[in-house]
Structure 1
Amino acid sequence: MNTKKDIVKVAKPKLMRFMEEINSEAIDIEDEYEMNNISVSDCEIRTKTADKLKVDGVIFSKMDFKDIFLKSLELTDVRFENCDLSNADLSDSEFEGAGFRAENLKGAIVSATQAVDFSKIFGLKVKD
């Protein structure tokens, strides 16, 4: 069972109370794509790579981000609920107000700096 302490937050997301909901079977993401103030649930992301994606005020629920590389991804006020981020390359991403459950990040690829930031959030102490 998930508890509040299982959620990793890089600054708390500030989300709109009412959002447009997208419940299609699949979505395609292109370079320089923007997603704003929506809730996306149960969709497959067909695109495996995209550059300069901006996501602001979005809730992703029951999504599969497995094996996806989104270069220069900017996440602002975003929450991931029951999403699979295994092997998703987030190493070139910027987070400002993102909420993750610990199990959603399992297997995700992050940069060394991001790993240090996430370790602090998880309460880990890094020793040289």
Structure 2
Amino acid sequence: MTNLFKIHQPKIPQNVTSVEFNDLKEEHYFKKCVIRDCSIVGEEIERIQFDQVVFENVSFIDVNFRFVELVDVIFDKCDLSNTEFCNGSVHRVEFKNSKLLGLNFADAVLRNVVFEECQARLASFGYAKLKQVKFQQCAIQSGDFYECQLDKVEFNQCNLDEANFEGTSLNGIDLSSCEFHELKVSAEKLAGCTVSEEQAIAFSRLLGLNIK
């Protein structure tokens, strides 16, 4: 699949300081640092900000960062399962080789974001706004994209089985390289979606057509 749009990468300085999350959490602001090889447990902080931050091999356990602000951030080999990022602002962020089971991005705004080789089953993007976002070789089974706004969003070689796109326009979205047996979509919002021949048969059944 050829990229039809450019995604701006996180701007991370060459020399960033290694810090401990607990040392700075009371400030609710992290800048130009790396947090690695640790667990962040039971934190509930609204409007926490991460600016030019790298997370390496970090597990988030029972974490609620509602209204989080992520700018120029990389998550590498992290576990964010069931983490709450709802209503967040996410710009120039990469999730690489990470576990995102049930990660909640509901009502969030995502710009210039890449998800690469992530396990994101049951991840929620309901009512979120995604612009210039790429999902590369991700497992997003039963993911929720209910009533999303998708603008320049790419799904490349992803497993989308039983994902929910109801109420979401798929105009300009290419699903032809993805795998799914069932997809929840709104028939009236399928126009302009690119699919493979096999996928087209499945969608035609959704539209009530009988194929001989």
State the TM bucket, normalised to the shorter chain: 0.7 to 0.9
The letter for the 2-side match of 1:54 is Q
Where structure 2 has 5 or more consecutive residues not aligned to the other structure, the ranges are 1-6, 107-125, 130-144, 159-168, 171-184, 187-212
Residues of 1 paired with 2:52 and 2:35: CA distance?
A: 11
Question: What does 1:66-77 correspond to in 2, within 5 Å?
Answer: 66-77=61-72
User: Whole-Å Cα distance in 1 between the matches of residues 72 and 42 of structure 2?
Assistant: 22
1:60 deviation in Å?
A: 0.3
Aligned equivalents of 1:11, 1:68: Cα separation in 2: 27
Tell me the distance in 2 between the aligned counterparts of 1:94 and 1:121. 19
Q: Which residue of 1 aligns with 2:95?
A: 100
Find the aligned partners of 2:98 and 2:58 in 1 and give their Cα distance: 13
Q: Sequence identity, in percent? A: 24
Alignment match, 1:3: none
* Contact 1:27–1:46 under 8 Å retained in 2: no
Instruction: In structure 2, give the amino acid aligned to 1:18.
Output: N
Q: Which residue matches 2:9?
A: 12
Relative contact order, CA 8 A, sep 6+: which one is greater?
Answer: 1
Alignment partner, residue 37 of structure 2: 42
**CA distance in 2: counterparts of 1:90 and 1:11, whole angstroms:** 21
Larger Rg over CA atoms: 2
- Matched-pair contact (CA < 8 Å) for 2:13–2:32: yes
3-state SS of 1:88 partner: coil
Q: TM-score, normalised by structure 1?
A: 0.75
2:85 is the counterpart of 1:87: no
Change (3 A) 1:33 1:78: same
**Distance change in 2, residues 1:19/1:109 (3 Å):** same
Shift in Å at residue 83 of structure 1? Answer: 0.6
